[in-house]
Amino acid sequence: MKDLSYQGVMGRKNDIMKDAVGIDYDVFERGKISFDYEEMMNNVAYSMEEMQSIQRETKVGNTPLFELHNVNKLIKKYSPEGKGARVFIKDEAANASGSFKARRASISVYHAKKMGYKGVIAATSGNYGAAVASQAAMHGLKCIIVQEVYDSNKKGQPEIIEKARKCEAFGAEVIQLTVGPELFYTFLKLLEETGFFNASLYTPFGIAGVETLGYEIAEQMQEREGKYPDVVIATHAGGGNLTGTARGLIKAGATDCKVIGASVDLKGLHMASDKDFNRKSFTTGHTGFGIPFATQPDRADVPRNAARVLRYMDEYLTVTQGEVFYVTEMLAQLEGLERGPAGNVSLAAAISLAKEMDEDKIIVVQETEYTGAGKHPMPQLTFARNNGIHIYRGNPKENVPGKTIVIPTSFDQINGKRLDLENLKIKYVKNIMGDMKLLDLDDVDIQYIADEIKVSVERVKEFLSK
């Protein structure tokens, strides 16, 4: 009999993962700290044409791209003379499961079926669970979704509970847990017991599936405006959204397009903390995941994470929860698009950025998500109030994560903040180096770090010599 204690299961995690993903990550390892990222993506995933074909068959992709005409009028009104870029939005809510994550799930579940797995498992409290469940239903595979939902007082977040309903609607079994280390333990144990495929968010299949999104944005904008977008903004949490979109833009030829990440500022809150878990009002795209995954990507549930944002991110903006609530209502009432908070994180950042950019420039917000009972502002704000959060209208600059939600009183108060990207890159280097020094590294390792954080080899050496 196998040891099913926490220590026993965690001790077998590498073997469990290898069996459940079907990838021998060791073949991509190179130096002391490096691995061949591009070889992994090219040899494990599918071509753009194959992915587009797979997604066409499973009700994914070819989603509409809208200009936000009424929002853009407001942007012009509150911008200096000659400023006020046009904002477009890619309506990913049109995918089968209601979010861009259908693109990730479509390739993962297709591959699971192709390789003969009888079912798929994903550990996610977000839209990805619904996406995997939807795709599994189409392919006739069993599906288990493992969620962190509750704190120790059994209080569950409305948005996560809503997503559980969606997963169950598609026929998945949903296992709901409290926050803490039991998530990964339960996930591993289920993979071992069932022999199902690990439809992880962070495999090459999942990230490559999002490449079609960036590719479509480039093609649609070229057809509509005769040029590629100047900026694409992606809500950043685990990193797959931004990474896949950026790779797709590059494959389409939009190499000069800036890729900007956006997250909700939850500074000071620890997402693995029972105390802090319910101090956020929606689970989407916040710095509690965004910063750790940017600076330590291989903390994921696979040996090598295919989502590596510092390779592609040109800037990183944060917005407050209050600004996202404001923008969610604005999108519904001005543009007739009622959507959940995920894409509206990027939309808030886009509005802030548009006021600084020239009026002939184009910004694309690259996703929307479906909305539902637990995703609406009212249940989320009620949940926040019941957890002691002070909610009021005022200046978002007064926002204190985990204590207040300050909803703007006017459009001109939407002003995202730029994070120091160089500091994140330095933090990444410290994380990957540990106790190692520059002299401990081979040339292949130094080049790897340069590629990982999008700087020159000389700049890496400067970082390491400090």
* pLDDT, tens digit only, all 466 positions of the chain: 789 999 999 999 889 988 999 999 999 999 999 999 999 999 877 999 999 999 999 999 999 999 999 999 999 999 999 999 999 999 999 999 999 999 999 999 999 999 999 999 999 988 999 999 999 999 999 999 999 999 888 999 899 999 999 999 999 999 999 988 888 899 999 999 999 999 999 999 999 999 999 999 999 999 999 999 999 999 999 999 999 999 999 999 999 999 999 999 999 888 778 888 888 877 788 999 999 999 999 988 899 999 999 999 999 999 999 999 999 999 999 999 999 999 999 999 999 999 999 999 999 999 999 998 899 999 999 999 999 999 999 999 999 999 999 999 999 999 999 999 999 999 999 999 988 888 899 999 999 999 999 999 999 999 888 7
Measure the CA–CA gap between 72 and 70, rounded to whole angstroms. Answer: 5
Measure the CA–CA gap between 157 and 188, rounded to whole angstroms. Answer: 24
The secondary structure of residue 157, as a DSSP letter, is -
pTM summary value = 0.96
Residue 355's contacts (CB-CB under 8 Å, 6 or more residues apart) are 75, 78, 79, 80, 83, 84
Domains 6-54+100-202 and 61-98+205-418 share a fold: yes
Structure tokens at 462: 């400067």
End-to-end CA distance of the chain: 51
Beta strands in 43-100 (DSSP E): 65-67, 86-90
Delimit the domains of the chain by residue range: 6-54+100-202, 61-98+205-418, 421-465
Q: Determine the CATH number of domain 61-98+205-418.
A: 3.40.50.1100
3-state secondary structure of 49: helix
DSSP H/E element including 406: strand 404-408
DSSP H/E element including 333: helix 321-335
Long-range contacts of 67-72 (CB under 8 A, 24+ apart): 68/331, 68/334, 68/335, 69/335, 70/334, 70/335, 71/330, 71/331, 71/334, 71/335, 71/351, 72/354
Tell me what pLDDT residue 45 has: 76
Cα–Cα distance list, 351 to 257, 283, 365, 381, 405 (Å): 18, 22, 10, 23, 19
In CATH, the architecture of 6-54+100-202 is: 3-Layer(aba) Sandwich (3.40)
Q: Where are the alpha helices (DSSP H) in 60-201?
A: 69-77, 101-114, 127-139, 158-169, 182-194
